[in-house]
Chain A
Amino acid sequence: MNLEILTPERKLYSGDVYGVQLPGVDGLFEVLEKHAPMVSALKPGKLKVLKDKGQSDIAVFLIQGGFVEVFHNKVTVLVEGAVPS
């Protein structure tokens, strides 16, 4: 599936990934291939990008709350501030 992380200042991440872990307001959750369409609010926390199945290649971002939209295997994360960690 395709993942995009957008901030007002720039596009932080874009590419095909295996899955992504997100800090939802109701708790941590993971989005994988063929997830149902969803819009969710995010709270500040860690966002983990799982680039492949083996979970060896992981990119972590510290985000300041935002939103995620999942639609037709395309995941868009909107955050106001994020730093790679």
Chain B
Amino acid sequence: MSGALKEVRNRIKSVQSTQQITKAMKMVSAAKLRRAQDAIIQMRPYANKLQEMLSNIVSNTEGELGGTLATERHVDRVLLIVITSDRGLAGAYNANIIKAAKAVIAEKYASQAAAGNVAIWNIGKKGYESMLKSNYKVDATFKDIFLDLRFETVQACAQAAVKAFEEKQFDLVEVVYSEFKNAATQRFVVERFLPIPKVKPAAKAKKSDFIFEPNKEELIAELMPKILNTQLYKAVLDANASEHGARMTAMDKASENANELLRSLKISYNRARQAAITTELTEIVSGAAALQG
């Protein structure tokens, strides 16, 4: 009888220590999430200004601008940049991104995939490990960006993609990542990276006699890569915030589940204890009765 009691006590202990871990992880994720959100906010003025500058130049120009980075080509070879996290225990976060990436290949690029012309660059270890098992061309050069998340490392990845596009290794580049909405919800998006979508002149552009130096065409040629760097950086930051948000939610749920489990375990523990006491009492009473008898 006391064996059952001990068993339940051990289970309670193990659930309690698991809960301690999930609670701690939740707290750590909350702190990291705050930092990740902060980075997004810090980047916003730069990104907005850059975009404003571009539409400003376009508004002050007649005719089309763009160059090679904006020229649509027939899509033979596709590159997907898939951003996942380095670590698990974030609910369905990584699984969902991988699923979204595979879905987009199956829907939009089935023929290219059949010809073996879909390449994948993974950012984040989890996606890399999972994609290795599939038969796409997987490149791990930029897998470790999250180990040291700085603008320069992301910039290197964006520039490599631009270079590959210019050299016609790929005709289309898309980024698959999770956009950060709030801690509980992520939106999985597939975003066009290259060729750059046509820029429309801003409605409320500053109409003024700007001096452009060196000239508009060269300025735009300089601006485009910078905008791409920023776009990828934003995607990586969003993915980072999403990861911590997802982990925080997952760990919160796990702690709640542990609570539930503890409650039912405590009930069975008390029941077992009461049963043991009752048996003991019965034994004593019947023993005493036998002596008197």
**Partner-B contacts on A (CB < 8 A):** 4, 6-11, 24-26, 36-41, 66-67, 69, 71, 76, 78, 80-81
User: Do B208 and A71 touch across chains, with their CB atoms under 8 A apart?
Assistant: yes
Q: In this complex, what residue of A is CB-closest to B233?
A: A8
Main secondary structure of the interface of A (DSSP, over half): strand
In the complex the two chains form, what is the Cα distance from A37 to B211 in whole Å?
6
**Partner-A contacts on B (CB < 8 A):** 39, 42-43, 45-47, 49-50, 53, 56-57, 150-152, 155, 206, 208-214, 218-219, 222-223, 226, 229-230, 233
User: Do A71 and B222 touch across chains, with their CB atoms under 8 A apart?
Assistant: no
In the complex the two chains form, what is the Cα distance from A78 to B227 in whole Å?
11
Shortest Cβ distance from A73 into chain B, in angstroms?
Answer: 13
Whether A71 touches B206, Cβ cut-off 8 Å, given contacts A40-B212, A81-B152, is yes
User: Do B209 and A37 touch across chains, with their CB atoms under 8 A apart?
Assistant: yes
Chain A residues with Cβ below 8 Å from B210 are 37-39
Could you list some 5 contacts between A and B, CB below 8 A? A7-B46, A38-B210, A39-B53, A41-B222, A67-B223
User: Do A8 and B47 touch across chains, with their CB atoms under 8 A apart?
Assistant: yes
User: Do A26 and B233 touch across chains, with their CB atoms under 8 A apart?
Assistant: no
Shortest Cβ distance from A26 into chain B, in angstroms?
Answer: 6
Q: Which 10 A-B pairs have the closest CB atoms?
A: A40-B213, A38-B211, A6-B46, A37-B208, A8-B151, A10-B42, A37-B210, A41-B222, A8-B46, A8-B43
User: Which one of A36, A40, A78 contacts B46 once the chains associate, using CB atoms below 8 Å?
Assistant: A78
Shortest Cβ distance from B193 into chain A, in angstroms?
Answer: 17
